[in-house]
Amino acid sequence: SERTLVLVKPDGVQRGLVGEVISRIERKGLTLAALELRSVERAVAEQHYAEHDGKPFFESLLEFITGGAVVALVVEGPRAISAFRQLAGGTDPVDKATPGTIRGDFGLEVQYNLVHGSDSPESAEREIKIWFPNL
C-alpha cells in the first residue's frame, strides 16, 4: 500500500467541494490516514511548491495557496499516488482534465484547479513531511 499527499486548495474549500473530493476518494476505495483544515503559511507554500520557484506563475500561485484555508489529507491505498491523480484529472481543467474527474467536472482555470496530489513516491514522502511532520 502507498500514501499520497492531497490538498483541497482554497478554491475548493471556498466553493464547498471538500465533501465532494473526500467522497470521490472514499468511493474509489482509498482511505484517509490524516485530515486537517488549516491556513497555509508562506514558508510552507514555498516549500511545497519549491520546484516552481522562478516560473512566471510562482508568485501568483503562492498568493492563491496562502489566500484561504486548505484541507490537507494523507490518502492511502494500493497505487494511491496514481489513483488520486486519475481522480483529479490533468492540470488544466479544460484542456487536459476530462469530464468525470474532479478538475474536469468542477474547474475552469489552470491556477484554480481545486486539488493537488503528489506526483511520485519521492514527492509524496517529501510533501507528507511538510504537511504532517508528526505522521
Which chain residues interact with ligand ATP by CB under 6 A? 57, 61, 91, 110-111, 113, 116-117, 119
Per the annotation, the verdict on 116 as an active-site residue is yes
Of 87, 116, 127, 128, the catalytic one is: 116
Nearer to ligand ATP, 2 or 119 (CB): 119
Which stretch of DSSP H or E encloses residue 2?
strand 2-8
CA 83 to chain centre: 13
**126 labelled ligand-binding:** no
134 annotated as ligand-binding: no
Least Cβ distance, residue 113 to ligand ATP (angstroms) = 5
Which is it for the CA torsion 77, 91, 132, 23, positive or negative? negative
Concatenated DSSP letters of 19-80: HHHHHHHHHHT-EEEEEEEE---HHHHHHHTGGGTTSTTHHHHHHHHTSS-EEEEEEEETTH
- Grid coordinates representing 55 are 516560473
In the complex, what is the shortest distance from the CB of residue 66 to ligand ATP, in angstroms, rounded to a whole number?
13
Nearer to ligand ATP, 66 or 111 (CB): 111
Q: Closest separation between CB of residue 36 and ligand ATP, Å?
A: 17
DSSP-derived secondary structure letter, 113: -
Residue type, 89: G
Question: Would you say 69 or 110 has its CB closer to ligand ATP?
Answer: 110
Residue 101 labeled ligand binder:
no
SS3 category, 7: strand
28 is in an annotated binding site: no
Q: Which residues are annotated as a binding site?
A: 9, 57, 85, 91, 103, 113
Active site positions, annotated: 116
Q: Which residues are annotated as a binding site for ATP?
A: 9, 57, 85, 91, 103, 113
